[in-house]
Amino acid sequence: MADRPGHFHGGLTLPAHKRQSTGSPLRTAAIPEVLIHPLSQHVGAPAEAIVEPGEKVLRGQPVARATGYVGSPVHAGSSGTVVEIAPRPVPHPSGLSADCVVIRTDGEDRPFEGYDPLTNYRTLNAPALRARVRECGIVGLGGAAFPTSVKLNVGVGLRSLILNAAECEPFISCDDTLLRHRSEEVVLGAQVMLHALEIRHCLIGIEDDKPEAREALTAAVARIGDDRIEVLTVPAHYPSGGERQLIQLLTGHEVPAQGIPADIGYLCHNVGTAAAVARAVLRGEPLISRIVTVTGSGVSSPTNLEVRLGTPMANLIDECGGYTANARYLIMGGAMMGFPLERDDLPVIKATNCLLAASEEDIRPREETLACIRCGDCASVCPANLLPQQLQWYTRANDFEQVEALNLYDCIECGCCDLVCPSHIPLTQYFRYAKTEIWSRKREREQSDHARERFEARKSRLEEQARARQRRLAAKTRALGKAGKDEAARKAMIDEVMQRVRAKKKTDEDQDKGE
């Protein structure tokens, strides 16, 4: 049976924890003394620093340029002096360090005037708008941080732009807050995106547990008066904010396995990204701040903060009254898809939508993993229609061919299967492991192909050298052999050489005398 519009397979209805952080209004976090800007905070190639230690920078000035098509520049969060460009711990599941531009702020927050507002954007073409989005460092703010300009370059044949305001993660409320306070920016961003995509229809999907945000958004659409933009409500059912799931909810169309939404004529962006695009185009503001939800019962007064990128996370916790006595874990992202951090001096990056200071009660305890009993609950909740149990089976056997054949890449790592597994099997981590392991093997294969090319190039070069040597030798032998046959010619050759030597000796002596 085909799914009716407004439904996706599986998923879970989770208890919401949004009121914790939406109770107080949006605040702006103080600019810290030191800003740390990682060079790799987006999908794709790391950016390359274009400033030197000691250099003065202004707020919004680019400090690193994009390398490669899938890449994004990084901008200074405030004015100050570059202290160093060195590895610093970054928020990443690995807990590793990576190169960062570290800026000591001067408190003046003087702006960089490098980007003119493009209020006349309707007269500009799509490449010009994409270039602006790219130079302003806009990436997907829903958490994946994929460069927005690349996503906007999908070619022709699109039906609708879809803006994602579903925000289904139980603790996160940054998009909710954005819509309550700045829904006009979101609508303006939608208009810019529609123009850049040359299409005439935009759907904004929002979960029904955010009536205030929905009201603000509908009011903004009415005020601006754009009938190309439609606001639709979807049920609060995790993971409705997954790109594919939201498209299915709003349109009834399913994105094919291993495909992208553009294959069926849709393009999905987060509402925060739309607002950032509006700021970049209409006001010439690069991406230097974002709204971060700071929540969980591990923090005294949870709220949403407008934060300069590069601000250490500990500062945000302080802004919210510090940790409570029962704070146990610090998680970046939501409770379902986020990852735990080992320290809190890490900088806020473009992908930081939420900081969850969790108590033992907020999250589930780690329980002993038992054997799979093949109950099939994981498959029935999988919103991507996969077979988590089979995937896990083949992953454990390192049979990655089978894992790929079972559409591992369609797994959105939502964690539903983990949550329902009665044997407490960490399924999602198996899938994350499998993905990175497959990529790593592909990389190794490429490296060995490259090594083979170099080895073969060297071999043929050495062979060519050996042949050339033989040819030279043979030529010499031939020349000598010929001369040997004719006594007179041989004598002539020797005389000639002797004369040359004598002449050289003479000129040398003359020169010596001259000196």
Partner 1 sequence: MITAIIAVTSLAAVFGLLLGYAAVRFRTEGDPVVEKIDALLPQTQCGQCGFPGCRPYAEAIVAGEADINRCPPGGEATILQLADLLDRDPKPLDPERGVEKPKRVAVIAEDLCIGCTLCIQACPVDAILGASKQMHTVIESECTGCELCIEPCPVDCIDMIEPPPSLATWRWPRPETDSRNGRSLAGTG
Please pick, from the candidates 17, 37, 210, 350, the single residue that binds partner 1 as defined by CB under 8 A. 17
SS3 state of residue 493: helix
* Subset of 369-388 contacting partner 1 (CB under 8 A): 369
Q: What single letter denotes the amino acid at residue 268? A: C
Q: Is the dihedral of CA 441, 384, 194, 278 positive or negative?
A: negative
Q: What single letter denotes the amino acid at residue 357? A: A
Q: Is 393 in the site for partner 1 (CB under 8 A)?
A: no
Site string for partner 1, 141-180 (x = CB under 8 A): -----------------------------xx---------
Please pick, from the candidates 76, 129, 250, 358, the single residue that binds partner 1 as defined by CB under 8 A. 358
Q: Is 75 in the site for partner 1 (CB under 8 A)?
A: no
Q: Is 355 in the site for partner 1 (CB under 8 A)?
A: no
Q: Is 368 in the site for partner 1 (CB under 8 A)?
A: no
Phi, psi of 235 (to 5 degrees): -65, 150
**Region near partner 1 per CB under 8 A, out of 116-124, 127-135, 227-235, 359-367:** 359-367
**Region near partner 1 per CB under 8 A, out of 9-17, 108-116, 148-156, 217-225:** 9-17
Helix axes 174-197, 271-282, angle to 10 degrees: 60
Please pick, from the candidates 9, 228, 283, 432, the single residue that binds partner 1 as defined by CB under 8 A. 432
CB of 379 to partner 1, least distance (A): 17
Question: What is the C-alpha to C-alpha distance for residues 200 and 212, in angstroms, rounded to an integer?
Answer: 27
Question: What is the C-alpha to C-alpha distance for residues 272 and 270, in angstroms, rounded to an integer?
Answer: 5
Please pick, from the candidates 1, 116, 225, 366, the single residue that binds partner 1 as defined by CB under 8 A. 366
Q: 339 vs 468, which CB is nearer to partner 1?
A: 339
Instruction: Please tell me whether the peptide bond between 239 and the residue prior to it is cis, using omega within 30 degrees of 0.
Output: yes
Could you give the dihedral angle defined by the CA atoms of residues 261, 266, 270 and 273, in that order, rounded to the nearest 10 degrees? 110
Question: What is the C-alpha to C-alpha distance for residues 493 and 485, in angstroms, rounded to an integer?
Answer: 13
The residue ranges of DSSP E strands in 10-147, in sequence order, are 27-28, 34-38, 48-49, 56-57, 62-65, 74-75, 80-89, 97-105
**Region near partner 1 per CB under 8 A, out of 68-76, 247-255, 336-344, 486-494:** 336-344
Q: Is 330 in the site for partner 1 (CB under 8 A)?
A: no
Per-residue tokens: 180:
């309550």
Q: 58 vs 341, which CB is nearer to partner 1?
A: 341
Question: What is the C-alpha to C-alpha distance for residues 430 and 363, in angstroms, rounded to an integer?
Answer: 20
Q: 262 vs 409, which CB is nearer to partner 1?
A: 409
**Region near partner 1 per CB under 8 A, out of 117-125, 443-451, 479-487, 493-501:** 443-451
Q: Is 286 in the site for partner 1 (CB under 8 A)?
A: no
The residue ranges of DSSP E strands in 50-196, in sequence order, are 56-57, 62-65, 74-75, 80-89, 97-105, 160-165
Query: What is the number of alpha carbons within 13 Å of residue 44 lying toward its C-beta?
Result: 23
Per-residue tokens: 79:
């004015």
CB of 280 to partner 1, least distance (A): 26
Q: Is 479 in the site for partner 1 (CB under 8 A)?
A: no
Distances (CA, A) of 159 to 245, 264, 267, 277, 364: 17, 8, 8, 20, 42
User: % helix / strand / coil in the chain, to the nearest 5?
Assistant: 40, 20, 40
Number of residues that bind partner 1 (CB under 8 A): 56
Please pick, from the candidates 27, 200, 343, 441, the single residue that binds partner 1 as defined by CB under 8 A. 441
Phi, psi of 80 (to 5 degrees): 165, -160
Please pick, from the candidates 26, 50, 363, 406, the single residue that binds partner 1 as defined by CB under 8 A. 363
Question: What is the C-alpha to C-alpha distance for residues 156 and 415, in angstroms, rounded to an integer?
Answer: 34
**Region near partner 1 per CB under 8 A, out of 135-143, 262-270, 277-285, 413-421:** 413-421
Q: Is 433 in the site for partner 1 (CB under 8 A)?
A: yes
Q: What single letter denotes the amino acid at residue 161? A: L
Q: Is 499 in the site for partner 1 (CB under 8 A)?
A: no
Helix (H) or strand (E) holding 358: strand 354-359
Site string for partner 1, 84-123 (x = CB under 8 A): ------x-xxx-x-x-------------------------
Q: Is 457 in the site for partner 1 (CB under 8 A)?
A: yes
Please pick, from the candidates 10, 147, 338, 347, the single residue that binds partner 1 as defined by CB under 8 A. 338
Q: 281 vs 336, which CB is nearer to partner 1?
A: 336
Q: 14 vs 234, which CB is nearer to partner 1?
A: 14
Q: 121 vs 323, which CB is nearer to partner 1?
A: 323
Q: Is 353 in the site for partner 1 (CB under 8 A)?
A: no
Question: What is the C-alpha to C-alpha distance for residues 469 and 25, in angstroms, rounded to an integer?
Answer: 82
Q: 216 vs 349, which CB is nearer to partner 1?
A: 349
Residue written as tokens 């050298």?
465
Q: 452 vs 504, which CB is nearer to partner 1?
A: 452
Distances (CA, A) of 349 to 35, 174, 308: 11, 14, 9
Residue written as tokens 């850049």?
196
Q: Is 465 in the site for partner 1 (CB under 8 A)?
A: no
Nearest alpha carbon to residue 17 among 428, 283, 357: 357
Please pick, from the candidates 451, 468, 480, 497, the single residue that binds partner 1 as defined by CB under 8 A. 451
Beta-bridge partner residues of 229: 202
Q: Is 429 in the site for partner 1 (CB under 8 A)?
A: yes
Question: What is the C-alpha to C-alpha distance for residues 118 and 128, in angstroms, rounded to an integer?
Answer: 10
Positions in the binding site for partner 1 (CB under 8 A): 14-15, 17, 40, 46, 90, 92-94, 96, 98, 170-171, 329, 331, 335-338, 340, 358, 361-364, 366, 369, 398, 415-416, 418-419, 424, 426, 428-430, 432-433, 435-437, 440-441, 443-444, 447-452, 454-455, 457-458
